Amino acid sequence: MTARDPVARHYGTAGIAERALAALRAANGPDAPVTPEALAPIDHFHGRGVVATEELARRLDPQPGEHLLDIGSGIGGPARWIAAHYRVRVTGVDLTPEFCDAARALNAACGLADRVTIIEGSALDLPVPDAAFDRAYSQNAIMNIADKPRFYREAFRALRPGGLLALSNVCAGSAGPPYFPVPWAATPATSFLATPQETRADLEAAGFAVVSFRDTSDELRPAQLRERERMEQSSAAPPLGIHLILGERIHEMRLNSVRSQIDDRTRTIEALVRKPG
């Protein structure tokens, strides 16, 4: 895959790491340390930011010394945070060349280049060996994947027997398609949402045993109502935020994402599944 791929073209902009580090120094001072915590407002490019990563990591429960796979690793924020907090190695795979370049630069800036490896590649043909990982996770990446059964089969292949996969997915709601643009797609052409029921069926068809599967939409709705009100009142970006990845268009995208959740055009699920063995 190259930057000509429409999904990579949606996400990719030059100079992401440079913008992130410059904003971090402007906000925290030129000599402030570059750490996963300091970068967290910028580099957790999914709903609810680092809080969602913390929750996913607790579900996945990685053990020191294990090797984890991050499918759709973005600019590497979750991989760095989990590697630092759980003393594990993480390999991230992402389609977007600019995201991979930024992730490697930020890994080095954090002193984590020996613990976090980034590979440019497709989730539908993961460039990793069979049964190479103790655990895997993916956060809000599969919305860009039309062939979801293949995505789950590839995750299954990459895990050792007994390995766990944790997911946070945006799914299809009952009230029609989401409002566009959203953070993962400017138009319906690169947005592919499955229902929660279809998601569970695809995971089981790939061979996974379901440990837990929760639709979290309703419990998150009060916070989303507050977020919609805040965003409708002000479009001002904070000093540190994911606008440093996607630019000013992110305000409209995030507002549409919140509106889509509130209006039941999208739903959110959290799942933990196991490869038998």
Q: Domain residue spans in the chain?
A: 6-274
- In angstroms, the CA 100 to CA 119 distance is 7
Terminus-to-terminus CA distance in the chain, angstroms? 33
pTM of the model: 0.96
pLDDT at position 79, please? 98
CATH class of 6-274: alpha beta
Q: What is the pLDDT of residues 122-132, one digit of tens each?
A: 999 999 999 99
- By CB atoms closer than 10 A (0-12, 13-18, 19+), residue 130 is exposed
Q: Per-residue confidence of the chain (277 residues) as pLDDT tens digits?
A: 344 589 999 999 999 999 999 999 999 999 999 999 999 999 999 889 999 999 999 999 999 999 999 999 999 999 999 999 999 999 999 999 999 999 999 999 999 999 999 999 999 999 999 999 999 999 999 999 999 999 999 999 999 999 999 999 999 999 999 999 999 999 999 999 999 999 999 999 999 999 999 999 999 999 999 999 999 999 999 999 999 999 999 999 999 999 999 999 999 999 999 999 9
Phi/psi for 102 (5° steps) reads -65, -40
pLDDT at position 203, please? 98
- In angstroms, the CA 195 to CA 81 distance is 30
- As a whole-number percent, the residues of the chain with pLDDT over 70 amount to 99
- Please work out, in degrees rounded to the nearest 5, the angle formed at the alpha carbon of residue 93 by the alpha carbons of 184 and 25: 75
pLDDT at position 4, please? 59
pLDDT at position 2, please? 41
Q: Cis bond leading into 181, ω under 30°?
A: yes
